[in-house]
Structure 1
């Protein structure tokens, strides 16, 4: 008779290949495992309900998604782009630099790479390609690469999910992502500046200095959103989940009252879109909660810890091995699935080796974000293929220099934990 766990894994693979969403596949296959193992199949519902309804932290996910949708439906995004162009558009490859800078700023509002690419990505693609300024494939590749920064700089939906499985502090995880995100942004900007002359990237007409105050004032409400959000968390006024609610409300009020750019129709569309996205992520989380029970019953984390102990890995060696595994899986699997199913298996070993859970969380999130632009199945590459109309092969070729730079950034933050933990420790973290 086939082993129940093997049957469960084969069932997940088969159902996924047949087109069933991975969340549904994990739930169905976990029930199959319980049946074959002679366990109570009602345990699947118990694990799902306990995990979904006892985790207050999960409320932050739909609220951050809603905040991003409200920004895109209003004119906050356009005003941010105008502000970024006024600051860096005058340099070689100006619009390409605008793409990177706006992703860094937008990162402080949405927490989602897909929201960044789908929101500002459409506008940046149009702005960069009109008049033949930039090759369409390059514009699409840069937009995908810069969107990766979004979930690394706070707020971050992947970090919220990592906090769910690791019990690490969301506030300190958010802080820990700031420096790595800026390092990645600096690397992307460096590539643009070094290739601008070789590829004849245009310089945008400089915005007169006298116009900067007016542009800044116009964009000020949008620029204040990260301040309101993060100030509430680190000032002790709100929890991260409450801050997500404040971010959504702030985006609505700024778009509707200050900019008067939200209609009832666009508000309905934003609510509907965020609802669909939340339902998709929710089913994935539900499936992972049930499957993680199967993994626990099979004692997989302990078995993996014993297996790795045989190699006598140091903490650094373990982190490098995790990087290789997560980067490989990121080429094939969706990031949330990796966070919910694969990462929890590594956590006991990381703790046994004395690895800081905040540092480990940032490394995991960066790995998963890099997977979004890693061929053959990088999700952001598919998003930009749809937006730009360019073939996947062309976009994948253009994204390679940015991918190499991000891999170098990942290696740096892996080997130098102080880069990740400096800001959290500055604000009271004792890990």
Structure 2
């Protein structure tokens, strides 16, 4: 054997030994380098086998849909999922959308106010469950965002929340777009979803909104019962007597000895009436002397509780109701004094001094029992809505 052949064999053996565990790049069986997506997300993001976001089953009795022209696609919702969970969307890489809207709490927060990069949120984080099916197309407690798309990038640009505000020397949204463009996995994801790697605020809004609208919950005890009857006014065969009583009180107007909840929280979506004004809760978290009269929106009543019957966090924008009984008791007796923005439906009878429903303790507990039937199970564990960065 010649010296050249011996040298060739030696070099070959050295190359083999160098291709072992010390190599930072995984080499699949087919001999090609794994993509950046595989390195970052493992099996959580598979562009050849996307989760079903676009064609999920929706009950025939659900008729509301605020999608408008931003129709959900699996590709863009997948991109939206990554953006939703990515802490790179905050200035110091510590806060993601999912930090304040957690899957474990129906995409809300069990903290009274949520922690941001420069402080805390001004109001309790609203649950995002079933956002697609809200009659009210404006978002935030004070409805300052005209669409869900517009809402998605406002927390990113909030100085306290995610920090790309441009205030006090902080970077602004244009800096975020440059930051994301430098991340290789976004080059792959935007190319896949949009056909090129260009990242814009509009594309962030579009894909984040698609992912959020895909988050739905229609496997509750209520849905099982509703499918067995012609309408909500009939007793549900799968309900207890207490749950059916609570349903009747929920749907019956106050002048007929009911609670009249249905006038503001329309079934079967149980979202808020777009014409609603303030609900009588005017507090500001952490400041007992301040008032907040401009809160006129609320999340759906679905999944206020989790599937174990535990609240997914305090109720109301100021987290002032820590139990459902406390929230119902608020509506049982409302003082209209000093509230110039109180919804007329809560002003009561002659004199308009405030609502007094005269609900008994048994009535209140029945209403609570009914509201618990609005909670599903799948939304808390379904992988397609989970954190793709967790391997």
Provide TM-score, normalisation by structure 2. Answer: 0.29
Structure with more of its chain in helix, by fraction: 1
TM-score, normalised relative to structure 1: 0.27
- Report the structure number with the largest CA radius of gyration: 2
